[in-house]
Amino acid sequence: MATTSPPLTRPSLLDAHALIQPYIHLTPVLTNSTLNTLASSPSPSPSSPSASRPAHPTIRFHFKCENLQRIGAFKARGAFHALLRLKSSPTFTPSAGVVTHSSGNHAQALALAARTFSIPAHIVMPSISTPSKIAATAGYGARIIPSGSTSTEREAVVTEVIKETGAALIPPYDHADIILGQGTAGLELQAQVTPTRLDAIIAPCGGGGLLSGTALSCEGTGIKVFGAEPEFEGADDARRAYYSETGERIASVKTLTIADGLRTPVGAIPWSIIYERRLVAGMYAVTEDQIKAAMRLVYERMKIVVEPSAVVGLAVALYNEEFRAMVEKEGGEKGWDIGVIFTGGNVSLDALGKLFAA
């Protein structure tokens, strides 16, 4: 990576957006009256007991469709930004290539960015990664190296690849250039919803690159930012740390949540933005059944392709009673306009069939 990165501020995001604009899509922002009505109606939540008094907020959604981004996910933003900055570094050797570890979307994004600039890409992917994501990454010309599923196992293989090739590491989330690239989605969302002012944006949190970048995009704007996670097998590491007595980041996560893009622990640099700078107003978690219910609604009501990780934020707004009660209290009769980032759409038909087979 480049030896220095710009400061983690909103102006740096504006510079990042200008740099990557030629290489990314301006993805659309969609609305849906049916989902607004469902979110604004008190109703029992899938897989959780009914509250004694279900919350009754007024919510208007604005969906930033990064599932329509290049490679089918927001990760193209960070990969192109990081690689463009790396190319400008005098210490970078293009022929040695770049390396990363990823379960799928960052892998595809870096493979595409590297191919764009004729740079070799070495991608360490867990053996449990979705086969379609592995195939897509290889299709962009990257060399695939299998690994175990935990971040520790992935990073150990990356270290060996660097020794072997001299490739430069472009991390999936824990780097300033990645965060600044991902945060450009939040900038676009704010511009596209004007003149309707957003009250909040909710984004999924795995490694935290998108959530922390989105938080930077909203700094000083008055827009609140919230994080969303699966709770299955401890995948809600950021939520648990956020509300713990110490606020200490949880460095290891091992979960097989259906939201496979969110199986990683939040990174140190994202955590410094999310928690230490308090740029994220709260963290919320949902069950596997709630994720599937939200996903089904998007397919049936919006007619667009999303992967499980993409709808975790929507699931929070629809089903998490703590979040919904907060919106009801703070939004009052007017309610809130909430931006929801649909992070990706890389899911195979076989996987969809298994998800909804029951």
Indicate which CATH number applies to the domain containing 126: 3.40.50.1100
Same domain, residue pair 86 and 203: no
Among 45, 64, 75, 102, the active-site one is: 75
Same domain, residue pair 123 and 152: yes
Tell me the percentage of the chain whose pLDDT exceeds 70.
96
pLDDT grade for 321, boundaries at 50, 70 and 90: very high
Judge whether 98 and 128 are in contact, CB under 8 Å: no
Judge whether 170 and 99 are in contact, CB under 8 Å: yes
pLDDT in the model for residue 47? 63
Closest Cα partner for 62 from 342, 350, 357?
342
pLDDT in the model for residue 49? 56
**CA 237 – CA 239 distance, rounded (Å):** 5
Same domain, residue pair 146 and 160: yes
Same domain, residue pair 318 and 230: yes
Q: Is the pLDDT of residue 358 over 90?
A: no
pLDDT grade for 39, boundaries at 50, 70 and 90: very high
Of 173, 199, 217, which one is at a domain's C-terminal end? 173
What are 293-313's pLDDT values in tens digits? 999 999 999 999 999 999 999
Closest Cα partner for 262 from 311, 200, 297?
311
Greater pLDDT, 46 or 230: 230
Closest Cα partner for 242 from 264, 217, 270?
270
Q: Is 133 a catalytic residue?
A: no
Q: How many residues does the chain have?
A: 358
Q: Is the pLDDT of residue 149 over 90?
A: no
In the numeric block, which tokens belong to residue 228? 């969303």
Of 173, 194, 213, which one is at a domain's C-terminal end? 173
pLDDT in the model for residue 1? 56
pLDDT in the model for residue 103? 77
- Specify if 2 maps to a domain: no
pLDDT grade for 150, boundaries at 50, 70 and 90: confident
Q: What pTM value is reported for the model? A: 0.94
pLDDT in the model for residue 331? 97
What are 173-209's pLDDT values in tens digits? 999 999 999 999 999 999 999 888 999 999 999 999 9
Same domain, residue pair 286 and 349: yes
Report the number of distinct structural domains present in the chain. 2
**CA 59 – CA 39 distance, rounded (Å):** 6
- Specify if 192 maps to a domain: yes
What are 341-352's pLDDT values in tens digits? 999 999 988 889
Same domain, residue pair 319 and 256: yes
Same domain, residue pair 311 and 339: yes
pLDDT in the model for residue 357? 85
pLDDT grade for 3, boundaries at 50, 70 and 90: low
| Least confident piece of the model among 131-145, 203-217, 232-246 | 131-145
The pLDDT of 45-57, averaged and rounded, is: 73
Q: Is the pLDDT of residue 51 over 60?
A: no
Structural domain that includes position 64? 11-72+178-355
In the numeric block, which tokens belong to residue 77? 């933003």
pLDDT in the model for residue 44? 61
Same domain, residue pair 333 and 209: yes
Q: Is 75 a catalytic residue?
A: yes
Same domain, residue pair 89 and 46: no
In the predicted model, what is the mean pLDDT of the chain? 94
Of 147, 173, 199, which one is at a domain's C-terminal end? 173
Judge whether 85 and 5 are in contact, CB under 8 Å: yes
Q: Is the pLDDT of residue 322 over 70?
A: yes
Same domain, residue pair 119 and 91: yes
pLDDT in the model for residue 193? 97
Antiparallel, parallel or unpaired: β 200-204 and 336-342? parallel
